[in-house]
Structure 1
Amino acid sequence: MRQTMAVRLSQQLTMTPRLVQSIQMLMWSGLELEQQLRAALDTNVMLEADTAEDDASATGDDDNWERPQSGHGEAPDIEDRPVMPMARLMDQLPGAFPAPGELAMAVAILDRVDDAGYLAADLADIAADDPSWSVAELEAVLTRVQRLEPAGIGARTLAECLTCQLESLPQNEPGRVVALVLVADHLATIPTSTNADLARVVGVTADEIATALALVRSLDPKPGAETSIAELRVPELRVEGDGNDWHVRLLESDRTQLRVNAAYEGWLQGCGESRGASAMRDQLREARWLLRSVAMRRDTLLRTAEAIFARQRDFLDRGETALRPMTLREIAEAIDMHESSISRVVRNKTVETPHGTFDLRYFFSAQVGGQACEGVCGNGVKAMVQDMIDGEDRARPLCDGDVAAALARRGIKVARRTIAKYRGLLGIPPAAERIAAC
């Protein structure tokens, strides 16, 4: 075998803890951002609140080293708010994956996790993001991601999700061993089997089955869901206008307006290399980086929303029934960003519109009805179904076939089973039940 030397140029992303936090910041909701910035304000002496009130009262002795009070107003509603599951998990990544390559793989995996916490892509597809990644390496990283807190995020099946949660419990947890067997081999039959049946199949007592089932039922089948804090989500954007000219603007809390403390920064310029000055310079660098990241998040969010509503102008004019098909890739190309960045930006963000408040992700919906229905998306059809049923004759409610036929007359060809699916998602019972309720 002949040995040769060759020079090859390649690009590879080095994932640093700061980059991970920047990525995480894109995913934060407005309330999470407020919560994290408050924590930074409490720990970094170089930061202060940037408000008009502070400007008016920012007089006094620069040598007074008492921590400025501007950032310490009472806000128990912020401190008591829970941190969302994905945010808690992202906080753990730098410590769990000190190697930059593994950290990049972990972030790529979490990019493909859906709102319930399940991995919504094949590892082979994720491996295509970087030629240096293999499916085996991603599998190993995924296994470690699934064991972080909350356990089970990144699972591909319900059984895998529940298994991860059971394995995270202490080994002496009552019912753990039997529960692992039930989840691995008998999950599908649990709803239709008695405790005696399961005890006979597994080879344990009925009491042991009862303990194991109680443990399984205590687990979270959707570890990534944020329903417990859904009521805390507030709009970060507003679309307003007069019907001829629409504008998107950010709705920002005063608590997210921070700046570098000018007095302390000026003092540092005349200091030497004492230990205290060195520590403060480190905090100054962290403060500047944080403010740049916040500014980048705001800019990216605003540009993304402007691109979304430039394509959804019909929705602004006429409402949900005028929604058009739109993909993450379209918006990514429009503002020259990666598709995964757009996915992060629209997660956990809501917007006020003339037709109500919506998640930004709501405006991304695939085309339905084939080539003949170009410009018609699933969410738009769902809104049409809602409108038709809202306006039906209660004595003669529309069946799914009636709705499908009415849409066909509009040139929208949708199968009756699709209408039934949309009706179910809207929480509307079948026609027979609606007429019985009259």
Structure 2
Amino acid sequence: MIKQTLQLKLSQQLTLTPQLQMAIRLLQLPVLDLQAELREALENNLMLEMDDGLELAPPKGEQQRPSDSAAEAEPAAEPPGEGEAYREDLPYADVPDYPGSYGGAGRGEGDEQRDYADASGSSLRDHLLAQLDVTMPEGDRKMIATMLIDAIDDDGYLQDSLEEICANLEPEIHSDVDEIERVLACVQRFDPLGVGARDLCECLLLQLAPFAPDTPGLDLARRLAAECLAELGEQDYAAIRRRLGCDVEELESAVALLRSLNPRPGGAADSRPPEYVVPDVFVRRVEDEWQVEINPAIAPRLRVNAAYAGCLGRSGEYSTLRSQLQEARWLVKSLEIRNETLLRVARAIVGHQQAFLERGEEGMRPLVLREIAETLELHESTVSRATTGKFMHTPRGVFEFRYFFSSQVAGSDGESVSSTAIRARIRKLIADEDPAKPLSDSALARVLAGEGIEVARRTVAKYRESMGFPSSNERRRVAIR
């Protein structure tokens, strides 16, 4: 028989309050995601408004609305019922939404006219489809051409095989590889030249096709593209001359002709506007100190609408508005916490990496998240959230916060050296080397050791490869003559 009893048990557990959850979510959001979050909050929460500090003139024919301070002296109007939203009564309702701001200050007389980049560019696919509409009538061939265009990447190369495209057309269209090959030949005549190629050789040959037959070096350029791309990439001109049986002048003309072509033709037709990085903080040198400040364009000041909040009183009515009021207060507080945390973390990073700001990459010091967390007495996960997807504008450029964190290599004098500083030194040594006698990885390691940086040859090779530098044998430039 089961006996029922009562027991008193004490336990402890960590609970994330809604406000803490909101603060954590806002902290880890990048700029664009944060702006979308705030825009949605301003649209959906009646209790939120922009704190721009400006009095907005009412539209013509309307009476001036009282300010928030005047609302306290006058009888409060009845708040809207639950589920109602009189957005036209909000102080920011008449303010147009300009890019980069949330109904911030409206453009008044004498304000500077802003120019914004044209975002109406088209992609390579749009460019090709526009030509397809002109050159091909409706039918199976046009559907095949559309499938081919969809398989072309941003560089202009066909990624799928003709067999795969043929299989993807079934069962709507019954075709064969030969038919698809003929349609592909039509697509390859579209602008830009070289689009739709399956490899670099075909891309170059497509671009050489329109040249006049008497173009100097044309025949040899075609043979180079078809037979000697590997040797050409290694700049092994002696092997090319032996293989093709040409002299120096002919090879020079052919190489110059190939260099005039575009190995990535798709980029020439892509007119989409570039995506710009919006920095979260600005770093400036003022006299002898580095100052850090939050970018005001991405940190709009929000506040609770005092007029609506004052209308609620202490009664138990309007539960929906009370819930919105609580969420508005949490959001305003969470924004303050986010900006304060970002500012503290950025200042700690700048304080640690002043040598980088003054001397460049070679002055970078080793740094890990734990050091910043211990300095600011924060949890390491908080520092991780504050540095992911956040950017810093410095006199040396715009860098992600994570850029300033790097592993360390022990130096001969007992001081650690940042891997970023070692990479910068290797890059400079390779840039200054004799092209006819490039430095090997062992030679680079010896030079670094002479400067007090003990790095193994395999570590030098790893850093060199990560920066895209070929080996010393591949860097050796063999003169054509």
- Shorter-chain TM-score bucket reads 0.5 to 0.7
Cα-to-partner distance string for 1:362-419 (whole Å, 9 max, x where unaligned): 1111211367452311112112122222333333332222221111111001112111
Residue number among 53, 60, 63 corresponding to 2:65 in the alignment:
60
> Percent of aligned pairs with the same residue?
41
1:286 aligns with 2:327: yes
1:321 is displaced (CA, Å) by 0.7
1:69 is displaced (CA, Å) by 6.3
Secondary structure in 1 matching 2:303: strand
Secondary structure in 2 matching 1:253: helix
Query: How far apart are the structure 1 equivalents of 2:367 and 2:294?
Result: 22
1:235 aligns with 2:279: yes
Q: 1:30 to 1:230 in 2, by over 3 A?
A: farther
Query: How far apart are the structure 2 equivalents of 1:437 and 1:234?
Result: 44
1:74 aligns with 2:97: yes
Secondary structure in 2 matching 1:352: strand
Look up the equivalent residue of 1:240 and give its one-letter code: R
Corresponding residue for 2:442?
A: 401
Secondary structure in 2 matching 1:358: strand
Corresponding residue for 1:350?
A: 391
Corresponding residue for 2:290?
A: 246
Q: Conserved in 2, the CA contact under 8 Å of 1:237 and 1:351?
A: yes
1:283 is displaced (CA, Å) by 0.7
Q: Conserved in 2, the CA contact under 8 Å of 1:33 and 1:256?
A: no
Secondary structure in 1 matching 2:393: strand
Q: How many residues align?
A: 284
1:260 aligns with 2:301: no
Q: Conserved in 1, the CA contact under 8 Å of 2:284 and 2:290?
A: yes
Report the structure, 1 or 2, having the larger helix content: 1
1:254 is displaced (CA, Å) by 6.1
Q: Conserved in 1, the CA contact under 8 Å of 2:412 and 2:454?
A: no
Q: Conserved in 1, the CA contact under 8 Å of 2:292 and 2:343?
A: yes
Q: Conserved in 2, the CA contact under 8 Å of 1:49 and 1:259?
A: yes
Q: 1:306 to 1:437 in 2, by over 3 A?
A: farther
Secondary structure in 1 matching 2:55: helix
Q: Conserved in 2, the CA contact under 8 Å of 1:31 and 1:233?
A: no
Structure 1, gaps ≥5 residues long: 80-194, 196-228
Residue number among 269, 273, 277 corresponding to 2:316 in the alignment:
273
Q: Conserved in 1, the CA contact under 8 Å of 2:411 and 2:452?
A: no
Residue number among 390, 394, 412 corresponding to 2:453 in the alignment:
412
Q: 1:326 to 1:8 in 2, by over 3 A?
A: farther
Corresponding residue for 2:377?
A: 336
Corresponding residue for 2:410?
A: 369
Corresponding residue for 2:471?
A: 430
1:51 aligns with 2:59: no
Q: Conserved in 1, the CA contact under 8 Å of 2:101 and 2:298?
A: no
Corresponding residue for 2:171?
A: none
Q: Conserved in 1, the CA contact under 8 Å of 2:35 and 2:298?
A: no
The structure having more radius of gyration, on CA atoms, is: 2
Corresponding residue for 1:121?
A: none
Q: Conserved in 2, the CA contact under 8 Å of 1:50 and 1:257?
A: yes
Corresponding residue for 1:155?
A: none
Look up the equivalent residue of 2:316 and give its one-letter code: E
Query: How far apart are the structure 2 equivalents of 1:313 and 1:301?
Result: 18
Q: Conserved in 2, the CA contact under 8 Å of 1:373 and 1:413?
A: no
Q: Conserved in 1, the CA contact under 8 Å of 2:282 and 2:292?
A: yes
Structure 2, gaps ≥5 residues long: 1-6, 59-63, 72-76, 80-85, 103-163, 165-272
Cα-to-partner distance string for 1:336-357 (whole Å, 9 max, x where unaligned): 1111111111110111122221
Q: 1:386 to 1:230 in 2, by over 3 A?
A: farther
1:286 is displaced (CA, Å) by 0.4
1:317 is displaced (CA, Å) by 1.9
Secondary structure in 1 matching 2:410: coil
Look up the equivalent residue of 1:22 and give its one-letter code: A
Cα-to-partner distance string for 1:68-112 (whole Å, 9 max, x where unaligned): 262663357899xxxxxxxxxxxxxxxxxxxxxxxxxxxxxxxxx
Cα-to-partner distance string for 1:220-269 (whole Å, 9 max, x where unaligned): xxxxxxxxx99453211121115721111111216732221222122223
Query: How far apart are the structure 2 equivalents of 1:385 and 1:347?
Result: 28
Q: Conserved in 2, the CA contact under 8 Å of 1:49 and 1:255?
A: no
Q: 1:373 to 1:306 in 2, by over 3 A?
A: same
Q: Conserved in 2, the CA contact under 8 Å of 1:239 and 1:353?
A: yes
1:18 is displaced (CA, Å) by 4.3
1:296 aligns with 2:318: no
TM-score, structure 2 as length reference:
0.53
Look up the equivalent residue of 1:284 and give its one-letter code: L
Secondary structure in 1 matching 2:439: coil
Corresponding residue for 2:259?
A: none
